[in-house]
């Protein structure tokens, strides 16, 4: 029997998970669980490239873990772990730093964007974190990496570094491919529909978080930016706001864009925005209830962390040992 292909992905616990994170990433992860060997991490090491509050990072990491499970990621089917619990990530990142060119990192779009937003803290980690991301992926010999359009550049860099290393030392790393779902790949801000929905955006009204109260969700959709037209029609270029709301409604209800257009033919934007808000509230209601139950059970979360890290290390350690041997490090004597 052919072995399942492997998938690796993770989200930084730098803030609350958003509706965009759920639709664009986590919801799709659940559907992959039966067909792939899935590794999903709380990317806490990536979080510290910007200034942060340590206590908040610890809390959000565990909240994110509980939300992963509440969203349907079964810890028995998937390897779910905290990145910093698997030291091989940092170790492989250092080796790969030595096989990544300065010019390649200089061209990373996200480094330029984040440098502009954090002008007083342009640190080396901010510059080299795509190498850590490459280590994350290559440690598990991932065949596919579920990413949004904005992360494709980092997967391309990972491929380049892996092929460079393989070219020198032989067949060491699997060359990963980006995996981008067709629907819901990128949910945009409700206030600025040309920008991705993000927990870091300046206008909190543009972002729906998974644990938001129903009244806050309805208020955000009521205020969502649309256009001067009155027709519910999918046209990303001419009607980005309405198209974004249609994307969300399609995921919440399972309806196609054509069905949505027919459903709201002759109705105003007010009716449509109310319907999207209500559909979102109903989508998140069971998820929020399950989160509260899981997050209250600290012993269970600790067990998930320990078991996930152990399973991740089993795969990661094999890759790192192979890399260390290839580059000429003296092997450690087994205890």
The fold of the 6-180+297-327 domain, in CATH, is Rossmann fold (3.40.50)
Three-class DSSP labels, 118-180: CCCCCCHHHHHHHHHHHHHHHHCCCCEEECCHHHHHHHHHHHHHHHHHHHHHCCCCCCCEEEC
Confidence of residue 329 (pLDDT cuts 50, 70, 90): very high
Comparing 31 with 160, the larger pLDDT belongs to 160
Lowest pLDDT segment from 40-54, 87-101, 152-166, 200-214: 200-214
- pLDDT higher than 60, residue 285: yes
Task: For residues 130 and 141, give the distance between their C-alpha atoms in angstroms, rounded to a whole number.
Answer: 17
pLDDT in tens, 125-166: 889 999 999 999 999 999 999 876 667 888 999 999 999 999
Quote the pLDDT of residue 14: 79
Helices (H), 223-268: 240-253, 257-263
- Burial class from Cβ neighbours inside 10 Å (0-12, 13-18, 19+) for residue 109 reads exposed
Distance of CA 266 to the CA centre of its chain: 37
Quote the pLDDT of residue 335: 64
Task: For residues 240 and 229, give the distance between their C-alpha atoms in angstroms, rounded to a whole number.
Answer: 12
Confidence of residue 120 (pLDDT cuts 50, 70, 90): confident
pTM recorded for the entire structure: 0.85
Quote the pLDDT of residue 16: 82
- pLDDT higher than 60, residue 2: no
pLDDT in tens, 237-268: 999 999 999 999 999 999 999 999 999 998 98
User: Mean pLDDT, to the nearest integer, of 15-31?
Assistant: 84
Structure tokens at 83: 């990145």
Q: How far is CA 317 from CA 15, 77, 136, 183, 200, in A?
A: 30, 21, 12, 36, 34
Specify the DSSP class assigned to residue 286.
H
* Domain-wise residue ranges, the chain: 6-180+297-327, 204-293
Which of 184, 194, 272, 277 lies closest to 236 in space, CA to CA?
Answer: 194
CATH architecture of the domain with residue range 204-293: Orthogonal Bundle (1.10)
User: In sequence order, what are the beta bridge partners of 178?
Assistant: 145
Q: Catalytic positions, please? A: 114, 196, 199
- b/e code 150-186 from CB counts within 10 Å (16+ = b): ebebbbebbbbbbebbeeebeebbbebebbbbeebbb
Specify the DSSP class assigned to residue 209.
B
Quote the pLDDT of residue 157: 95
pLDDT in tens, 221-239: 999 999 988 899 999 999 9
Structure tokens at 329: 């490090």
User: In sequence order, what are the beta bridge partners of 38?
Assistant: 7
pLDDT in tens, 194-208: 888 887 655 668 899
| Fold agreement (6-180+297-327, 204-293) | no
């Amino acid at each position: 029997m052919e072995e399942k292909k492997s998938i690796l992905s993770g989200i930084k616990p730098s803030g609350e998970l958003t509706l965009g994170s759920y639709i664009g990433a986590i919801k799709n992860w659940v559907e992959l669980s039966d067909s792939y060997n899935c590794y999903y991490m709380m990317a806490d090491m990536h979080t510290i490239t910007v200034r942060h509050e340590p206590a908040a990072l610890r809390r959000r990491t565990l909240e994110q873990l509980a939300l992963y499970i509440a969203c349907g990621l079964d810890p028995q089917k998937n390897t779910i772990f905290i990145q910093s619990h698997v030291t091989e990530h940092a170790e492989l990142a250092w080796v790969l730093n030595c096989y990544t060119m300065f010019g390649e990192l200089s061209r990373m779009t996200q480094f330029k964007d984040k440098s502009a937003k954090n002008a007083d803290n342009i640190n080396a980690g901010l510059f080299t974190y795509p190498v850590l991301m490459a280590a994350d992926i290559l440690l598990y010999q991932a065949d596919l990496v579920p990413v949004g359009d904005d992360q494709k550049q980092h997967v391309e860099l990972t491929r380049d570094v892996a092929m460079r290393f393989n070219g020198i030392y032989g067949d060491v790393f699997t060359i990963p491919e980006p995996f981008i779902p067709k629907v819901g790949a990128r949910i945009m801000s409700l206030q600025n529909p040309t920008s991705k929905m993000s927990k870091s955006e300046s206008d909190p009204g543009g972002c729906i978080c998974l644990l938001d109260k129903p009244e806050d969700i309805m208020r955000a959709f009521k205020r969502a930016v649309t256009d001067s037209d009155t027709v519910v029609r999918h046209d990303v270029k001419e009607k980005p706001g309405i198209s974004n709301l249609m994307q969300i409604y399609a995921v919440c209800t399972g309806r196609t864009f054509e069905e949505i257009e027919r459903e709201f033919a002759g109705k105003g934007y007010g009716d449509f925005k109310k319907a999207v808000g209500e559909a979102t509230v109903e989508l998140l209601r069971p998820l929020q209830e399950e989160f509260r139950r899981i997050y209250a059970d600290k012993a269970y979360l600790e067990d998930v962390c320990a078991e996930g890290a152990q399973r991740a290390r089993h795969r990661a350690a094999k890759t790192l040992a192979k890399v260390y041997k290839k580059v000429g490090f003296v092997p450690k004597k087994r205890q």
